[in-house]
Structure 1
Amino acid sequence: MKRPWLTEPISDEEDAEITAAALSDPDNPPLTDEDWARMRPAREVMPPSFFEPVALPPRRFFMAEIDLDVAEHFKNEAGEGWEARMNDVLREVIARRKEAAE
């Protein structure tokens, strides 16, 4: 079975054209042997915090019935990513209720 998401291999001519275009780019010259020799592992040059895992809050997909006008409001207000915006608004409501209860 053919996997439609895989690209076909490029020809030698296409590969040569791509390589020539990359080599002619003055903003991105190819690395020299000296450049490669100067390179060090990222762990030697980056702070340890760079390698700490990012802890995201756990998420769970679930279905919820939301009135159409509410969903349309968020879609129109936030556009793409409206579900995340709705999540943010709900989180704000939770925080306000916790503050009010204290």
Structure 2
Amino acid sequence: MSDDEDAAITAAALSDPDNPPLTDEDWARMRPAREVMPPSFFEPVTAPPRRFFMAEIEFDVADHFKREFGDDWQRHLNDALREFIARKQAAE
């Protein structure tokens, strides 16, 4: 990076009222995240395991979910299947 490029970047940062550069005092007050965040913040995020498989879904069903929910249609289809399972289990 040239001196001119560095000066332009610094000038732009200094002129941004929403994000002023950190001062030496700001840096002196910084502490590691592990000292200020709860231990749970660092626990790994776990999601239920997902297994992918092929399933034959008739076009009219898939088209309905795609029209209703767009790109998120598969999640909504899963939600509908889970709701069906819950109702069936509740009826048993």
Q: Same fold (TM over 0.5)?
A: yes
1:6 corresponds to:
none
Alignment of 1:23-62 (within 5 A): 23-62=14-53
Q: 1:89 to 1:19 in 2, by over 3 A?
A: farther
Choose between structure 1 and 2: higher helix proportion: 2
Structure 2 stretches of 5 or more lacking a match?
none
Query: How far apart are 1:58 and its partner, in Å?
Result: 0.6
Identity of aligned residues (%): 75
2:57 corresponds to:
66
Q: Which of 21, 46, 49 does residue 12 from structure 2 map onto? A: 21
Distance across 1 between alignment mates of 2:61 and 2:5: 51
2:83 corresponds to:
92
Instruction: List, as ranges, runs of 4+ consecutive aligned residues in structure 1 with deviation greater than 6 Å.
Output: none
Q: 1:18 to 1:97 in 2, by over 3 A?
A: farther
Residue type matched to 1:44 in 2? E
Residue type matched to 1:35 in 2? D
Structure 1 stretches of 5 or more lacking a match?
1-10
Distance across 2 between alignment mates of 1:15 and 1:71: 54
Paired residue secondary structure (1:73): helix
Question: Structure 1-normalised TM-score?
Answer: 0.75
Query: How far apart are 1:40 and its partner, in Å?
Result: 0.9
Aligned residue pairs, count: 91
Q: CA RMSD in A?
A: 1.9
Query: How far apart are 1:98 and its partner, in Å?
Result: 1.6
Question: Structure 2-normalised TM-score?
Answer: 0.82
Query: How far apart are 1:20 and its partner, in Å?
Result: 3.1
Distance across 1 between alignment mates of 2:5 and 2:58: 53
